[in-house]
Structure 1
């Protein structure tokens, strides 16, 4: 019998998503008698303790009997149980400073850490995540911010709606002006963004049309790998080579910054990936008014992302001259929407979607004791950093 625990989220600000919904837990108990699921008490989860109890799932505080513990966001040090296997988004693979203390504690407590972000198919395609709903909420918030800035239309906040279905109804009759929107990326985030564009009645156009034409109606362009990056020497783009050697490429985005009103960014970024633009590119020809940085890397692909905002207050301004933070919607600023837990605005839909992927692609491997997919996503095994992640060794030595 494999015992799986759903932990209470401890990160501040609180996240109310969960890896498995009550209905999914009930289905697993019925169809997989070799596993038992226990849920830790939580007052903030989008599904209540009673929801799980009614589904026949035990709810308790102590999870030490569990073999595997499933969370969503980073786990506070004082909540980590020694010698357990955890699955959550650790945000440590890029050596993020704010999670260094947690990573050191994982090593000290001889924990096994399997990171959802590192669960990938053989070709490097991510298997599970909340990207689709991050794209939904991020696109909505970006469009909302532009509407607030220009005072041309108004959108409700996503979290004011019961669920995604109700949110869609708020788009009926919405009139978007003749603006241009650049959508970057090709993964789940971009799929969510494109869904919102289509629901809002915004027309997709090809990159050359977007750059050369004016339109009497709102349009968007989706910019993928070859549209965004080119090799410094060969002037070509090869996906595999780009992922192996991104430092050999430069950004092709700048022409789009001269004719775009809203940028909705969903590209993956790391230190050696070219930024979409640089601070010095923000001049009188830079027409972008609003940026929804769904990827949300501080000073990353969007260099004027200077840090997270909260779900309740998602937008800030950046002065075009000083590049300092301002209030949003000022005439001399660019508005930036940057929130790290966007799917939390649609927690039930996002949790259901995530749990479906977890059951379909990962849970069977966990029950069987592992797989190559699980192995590649294991950053730490019993307190020892695994070979693919040995570059994190120095990162894990400090607990300050």
Structure 2
């Protein structure tokens, strides 16, 4: 198979979908890899390293998209890339279609075989290709929140961990999954007072056990959320429903009750955001805006700020799926791997993930009926 790796074009997105080591693995199995010039530079991988690993270097994105049977990326294609789409070409990347109906329509119209990293799901419900980026984003949410709590950034002027004789900041995390757990680790490590709201009772018990009582847990419901939000110095939205838009759990009225100069970081912004006042996606260049006296951080590709770490973590988990698709082809891979089949969002002009189809208002067609 011919695998293509275009350079990411999203604002300040420096990750790359394949490392030179991954390129070598594919080459050893007899596959060809085309990498766009400069695709790996933001993550510290030079063109020379890709060439040494056996990749062919292409000057223009059209050269990569036009020849590859499978395109592997990090972020969802932007409108200027839609014209590169080809029927039956495999696109393997983060898609987040629930928040991008125009992309879903373009993939269906061009009959692209689109597989989303974020909806590949194991039998136990875990999301193996989303997990490493959720770990990065969860940890970064606290790092960025602490920065914007500084007075010179417009924040309350609160040190997250306080000092002896001065209480620490109150960090409220809504969602106790991978993002929330990693945010809690970082916030506790910095000495903050941490509360996690979660709706799954088993997960609440897990968090209580693993953190040995160092944080407080609350059942996630409107009453508890409203009370917690009012007290927050840093509010982190860490809610995910695979394939669907994030539920709006924090209302605008709740945000209005927050302290002046408090900070909100909504990691769910890629899926539409879980906080009502997150009404736009920001960039690493201009990451924040103020509303109701509260600083809002809504960057849609947070792990792109630490591309070396993020690229290595991401490719650790994607390479096995890339190898499988390259070796067996799409049909055989999907038939043999139920978790991979759940990752298919678009095939033969149909949307094949129920939550994605529902979110964008398009018909759903089971992938099994199309194979």
Is the 1:257–1:287 contact (alpha carbons within 8 Å) kept by the matching residues of 2? Answer: no
Residue 177 of structure 1 and its aligned partner are, at CA, apart by 5.7
**Residue 267 to residue 19, structure 1, CA distance change in 2 (3 Å):** same
More helix by share: 2
Structure 1 unaligned segments of length 5 or more: list them: 155-170, 203-217, 230-248, 320-332
Residue 290 of structure 1 and its aligned partner are, at CA, apart by 1.4
| Structure 1 segment 235-274 matched on structure 2, within 5 A | 250=222, 252-268=224-240, 273=247
**Residue 288 to residue 180, structure 1, CA distance change in 2 (3 Å):** farther
| Structure 1 segment 45-56 matched on structure 2, within 5 A | 45-46=42-43, 47-56=45-54
Distance 1:153 1:106 in 2: 46
Offset from partner CA, 1:282-337 (integer Å, 9 cap, x none): 45576881111121268742111121222022121112xxxxxxxxxxxxx11111
**Residue 347 to residue 337, structure 1, CA distance change in 2 (3 Å):** same
Residue 151 of structure 1 and its aligned partner are, at CA, apart by 3.7
Q: Give 2:73's aligned residue.
A: 71
Q: Give 1:340's aligned residue.
A: 300
Q: What's the secondary structure of 1:150's corresponding residue?
A: coil
Distance 2:103 2:55 in 1: 30
**Residue 390 to residue 287, structure 1, CA distance change in 2 (3 Å):** closer
Q: 2:34 aligned to 12, 21, 38, which one?
A: 38
- Is 1:145 the counterpart of 2:133? The answer is no
Q: Give 2:19's aligned residue.
A: 21
Structure 2 unaligned segments of length 5 or more: list them: 204-220, 364-371
Distance 1:258 1:70 in 2: 43
Is the 1:73–1:90 contact (alpha carbons within 8 Å) kept by the matching residues of 2? Answer: yes
Is the 1:127–1:361 contact (alpha carbons within 8 Å) kept by the matching residues of 2? Answer: no
Say what the alpha-carbon RMSD is for the aligned residues: 3.5
- Is 1:225 the counterpart of 2:199? The answer is yes
Q: Give 1:309's aligned residue.
A: 282
Aligned residues: 322
Q: What's the secondary structure of 2:299's corresponding residue?
A: coil
**Residue 82 to residue 267, structure 1, CA distance change in 2 (3 Å):** same
**Residue 309 to residue 390, structure 1, CA distance change in 2 (3 Å):** closer
Distance 1:152 1:288 in 2: 9
Q: What TM-score, normalized by structure 2, do the two folds share?
A: 0.74
